[in-house]
Amino acid sequence: MSSISSEENIISLDNSSSIIGSIASSDNEQTDATYQTEDLNKLLESRFDIGDALRMHNDSTESSSRENIDIEKLKHNPNDNSSASLAESPMSISSENQYDIVENGESNGIGKEETLQKVFTNKSTGKVELPPDKGYAWVIVFSVFLIMFNTWGCNSAFGVFLSFFLSNNKFPGATRYDYALIAGLTVFLGQGLCPFVVIVMRIIGLKLTMYIGTCIMVTAFVLASYATKLWHLYVTQGFMIGCSISIIFSPATTLLPGWFLKKRAVSMGLSLLGTGAGGVTFGLASNKMIHDFGNTKMCYRMLAITCSIATAIAVTLVRERNPVKPTGLRSLTKIKREFGKMFSWKVIRQPFVPLIAIWFTLALFGYNLMIFTLSSYAVARGMSQHQGSSLTAILNGAQCVGRPVMGLLGDRFGRANVTITLTCVLCVFMFGFWIPAHTYVQLIFFAIMVGSCVGVANVMNTVLIADMVKPEEFLPAWAFVNYSGAPALLVTEVVAQALTDSKNKSNPYLHTQIFAGCCFSAALLMILVLREYAVRIKLTRRQEDTARKLQEKEEESSSEIQTVSEHWDVLEKRETKYEVLLGSGFKKYFLRMAYPMKV
């Protein structure tokens, strides 16, 4: 790394790019070390997820309960030292996991790492049992894949239904806004109910919650096939399907973190294949059945049979690695405690949490505008119903490849960096490709290219939350991001239809296309602000770490024991660099925003 002598070396116009790139290489090497090191605690915190947060909060709750019990015992029997000895006993490490155990009883990379112990301690044995990353864990991946396939994947096919409803007077008196609101209601409930479903799961148990969701799903599809009035469709396709999606898929998202740590990115990517694959399968199948029968009755019944059976199989196969005992319905105190974990105003008041929520909402708004409008847009441009549904299927097929690759690229080049790049690409596609595209071949290529990156918000929202907040604050931050943006998703397709200009015969969806592009552009601005904050957090932590190492170096000068491997000059250069980068002012702010490090 090149030497940093003064602040002017960094901001000089002549060689600022080369200097900044050179000094950033050191930070990128430190980031890569996080994924290559045996420090499993850092690895966990960099890939923290909703399942980890639930286990961490459950550990703190049980620890508090045990402490209260011990206090009561000591009150009645002051001479009883069993509670104290139990509390002081060191945490043991399970020898059954795949990681090596060193002689002092600590697993490689575990040491005194508090987060790892809180998340992966088996409450029944008191041992830290790390995820196996193999064996039955892959069955869990397949089960989560099936669940995503039959929930969000199936819902992706509603664009075919929407196009059919708009082209045929199926329900007398219904307007295009009614069908659009039904489509939005499903997404609104599916996304917004997630935090509440997780609370229900903690109260009554994971499998029971998912079985209830499966029953609601099959009932909704069957009743929708007999719908004769518009309000029937609101209740079944809108309300019941939306609730069932959230009730089924929300618990499923908590499973993989308990089974994977080192291979978590791969497992998450494979499970996300389900959304795209389901969109392809159900999109083509739904279009075929609607075309053959001239109505949606048999199609709804087909969905009822296939989705319910596949989901029931998946729910039967899933299991928690270290099952958490449900709190039950009898204790109102425990139920209130679960709500307290999920909703915290202290976390919400942190400025970057609403920023993440705004970014996520804008990106999802643009995503839903595009995916539900593409088929109708194709029909409006003179293509057949079959061609319109084929475009939706192609787009979902591209997501099968795009979503897993996004996760892997995020680990390789930085989550915020990949998110910014893909969001910028989406802006170009919305304005520069979708608007001028008017033939079937052009729209096929558009669907492939957009489908490969349009799900960036769905993939990156959880990991960006993990990068911004402390593990203890992850749960309420995740909940806020989900429920705060849900109301906007309710009116997504309503906005799309309202912006449609029937007088513009050449392109009635022009205003909708422009608005979708504006949504992604605004999301890009939000993620740039978030990137600066993420860079500032990471640089601040490394500045503190460098100061600690310099202090240890000074102590080593009077001792023969060497504990810090870095050379003194390297540490001093880092200290100077961090002082410059973390300075105040607009110039330093934009320097951090564009600082080429993996974040």
pLDDT of residue 561: 56
Q: Taking the alpha carbons of 316, 319, 323, 327 in that order, is the dihedral positive or negative?
A: negative
Q: In a 3-state reduction of DSSP, which class is residue 173?
A: coil
Q: In a 3-state reduction of DSSP, which class is residue 47?
A: coil
- Other CB atoms within a 10 A radius of the CB of residue 348 amount to 17
Which backbone phi and psi does 262 adopt, to 5 degrees?
-70, -30
Q: Taking the alpha carbons of 503, 186, 279, 268 in that order, is the dihedral positive or negative?
A: positive
CA dist., res. 109 & res. 479, Å (int): 30
pLDDT of residue 219: 96
**Can you count the helices (H) and strands (E) in the chain?**
29, 2
Q: Beta partners for 128?
A: 93, 121
**Could you report how far apart the first and last alpha carbons of the chain are, in Å?**
19
Tokens of 256: 């993989």
The H or E element spanning position 311 is helix 297-317
Tokens of 144: 């989560």
CA dist., res. 131 & res. 258, Å (int): 6
pLDDT of residue 109: 40
CA dist., res. 332 & res. 587, Å (int): 53
Q: Beta partners for 92?
A: 127
Tokens of 473: 């604050």
* Model pTM score: 0.80
Which backbone phi and psi does 315 adopt, to 5 degrees?
-65, -35
> Under a CB-based contact definition with an 8 Å cutoff, are residues 1 and 25 in contact?
yes
DSSP string for residues in 62-109 = HHHHHHHHHHHHHHH-TT--HHHHHHHSPPEE-TTSSS-B-TTS-BTT
* Bridge-based pairing state of the strands 92-93 and 127-128: parallel
DSSP string for residues in 333-380 = HHHHHHHHHH--HHHHTSTHHHHHHHHHHHHHHHHHHHHHHHHHHHHH
CA dist., res. 514 & res. 512, Å (int): 5
In 3D, which of 258, 285, 252, 286 has the Cα closest to residue 271?
252
Torsion angle (degrees, nearest 10) of CA 574, 576, 577, 578: 90
CA dist., res. 436 & res. 445, Å (int): 13
The H or E element spanning position 6 is none
CA dist., res. 8 & res. 176, Å (int): 60
The structural domains of the chain, ordered by start, are 48-128 (no CATH), 133-342 (1.20.1250.20)
CA dist., res. 599 & res. 597, Å (int): 6
Tokens of 121: 């301690």
DSSP for residue 323:
P
In 3D, which of 180, 157, 147, 153 has the Cα closest to residue 489?
180
| Mean pLDDT for back-to-back runs of 10 residues, the chain (599 residues) | 42 46 58 57 78 75 47 48 40 39 36 68 77 90 94 84 78 85 90 92 92 96 91 92 94 90 85 87 88 87 94 93 81 84 84 90 90 84 84 87 85 88 94 90 93 88 84 88 89 88 84 93 93 87 81 68 63 79 84 83
Q: Taking the alpha carbons of 311, 51, 189, 386 in that order, is the dihedral positive or negative?
A: negative
> Under a CB-based contact definition with an 8 Å cutoff, are residues 447 and 463 in contact?
no
The Cβ-side half-sphere exposure at 54, using a 13 Å CA radius, reads 29
User: Which residues in 376-405 are b (16+ Cβ under 10 Å) and which e?
Assistant: bbbbbbebebbbbbbbbbbbbbbbbebbbe
Packed helices 510-556 and 586-594: angle between N→C axes, nearest 10 degrees: 100
